[in-house]
Structure 1
Amino acid sequence: MPDFRYPILIALLLAGAACQQPAAEASDATGGAAPEAGADAIPASTPAPAQDAQRPLTESDKLLLEMAEAACRQNDFTGFVAAYARSPILRARHTAASVQHGQPGASKPVTRDRYLAGNLFPITMIDTYWVTSDSRRAFDAADGDAQLLVIAAPDINVASDGRARVDWVSGRMDYDPQINEGEGSFVQTGPGGYLLFYPTKDCWELVEDVRSPG
């Protein structure tokens, strides 16, 4: 589990935000159930849905698209997934036609359109901080109440064949000025899962989203 440390202000804002169920232990970059095409099958890039092509681009969209394009050129999966998590346009363009979704051993294929329409991608970012997507939506609906945010701690691994896996858990920040000396410590308190991306001819696409029971 990576050691996530945040500034005092973020730690104080987020200390009370947490899920209550324990998460399953994260595993390595190439484990987990493979999509129906098989673990060794590398799917080709798939076209974005029509509504993505018709949507006007905002300045934020343009910046995230540029960020993702640069990451793809540089083979920088960490930079790519940071943009992907924040951009519906990128998720439409870099999600496989079918995504294996569900709990370990019981996941099922979900079409890309259903996956995107359901806003199922589980984690996102605020500035440089990872949070759960559900808590980000609650935060936005409550005009920025940071107590609603649940931190997500991702562990990113890229295999030699280009497949990339993001294991994540949810939790909170513990802050004690006598112990932390200005920094908080991440404590896992909630469930998580893993995300599997396959390389395409010019980037990556999401093929699997499996959630830990909880």
Structure 2
Amino acid sequence: MGLALAGLSAPAGAQGVSDAELIASARQACADRDFNGFMSNFARNTRVQAAFLAPSIEVRSLAAPARIISTVEAARYGNAFAIAMVDYSWVDARTARGRNPADLRLTWTELPDSGQRIDYVRPAARGANRAGAYVFAFRGGCWQLVQDLR
């Protein structure tokens, strides 16, 4: 089942809250099996993301997902996550701090065992779109980022 999302709202009051509150909110979303709520918190900052990374993230080819390009330890993943939430909209994280963040189109697909895949596209006025995908596995009572497809 796929669901296309663009500019989806985050939980009310999510702007301006502490990292600890965002992490707690993400954990509650996991307990409620609410991936949208989880993702709304995960996309807000790198500290929240770090709390929900698998010990290692497989970087794979978007065109050939079975092909593993590399494996990155969570501690070295850094700011690689391309999706951010700004003013209740999904945007390209590379542009999130600018005056005009670039909107992303997201498609979410539920995977077996409560996993989730998010495909993203940043429409380009000229040239190629920026696209990729992420896979989250449900482990230990919450989702963890396990794959980054580029």
Q: If the length of structure 2 is used for normalisation, what is the TM-score?
A: 0.78
Q: Which runs of 5+ in 2 are unaligned?
A: 9-15
Counterpart position of 1:177 = none
Contact 1:195–1:209 (8 Å) recurs in 2: yes
Aligned length: 135
Contact 1:150–1:172 (8 Å) recurs in 2: no
User: Is the counterpart of residue 190 in structure 1 residue 150 in structure 2?
Assistant: no
Return the structure number with greater relative CO, CA threshold 8 A, min gap 6: 1
Aligned match for 2:36, one of 78, 83, 101: 78
User: Is the counterpart of residue 103 in structure 1 residue 61 in structure 2?
Assistant: yes
Of 60-69 and 87-96, the range deviating more from structure 2? 60-69
User: Is the counterpart of residue 158 in structure 1 residue 120 in structure 2?
Assistant: no
User: Is the counterpart of residue 67 in structure 1 residue 18 in structure 2?
Assistant: no
Deviation, structure 1 residue 5: 7.0
User: Is the counterpart of residue 120 in structure 1 residue 80 in structure 2?
Assistant: yes
Contact 1:64–1:87 (8 Å) recurs in 2: no
Counterpart position of 2:48 = 90
RMSD of aligned residue pairs (Cα, Å): 2.4
Contact 1:99–1:209 (8 Å) recurs in 2: yes
SS class of match (1:89): helix
Q: Relative to total residues, which structure has the larger helix share, 1 or 2?
A: 1
Deviation, structure 1 residue 207: 0.5
Q: If the length of structure 1 is used for normalisation, what is the TM-score?
A: 0.56
Q: Which runs of 5+ in 1 are unaligned?
A: 7-57, 140-144, 174-188
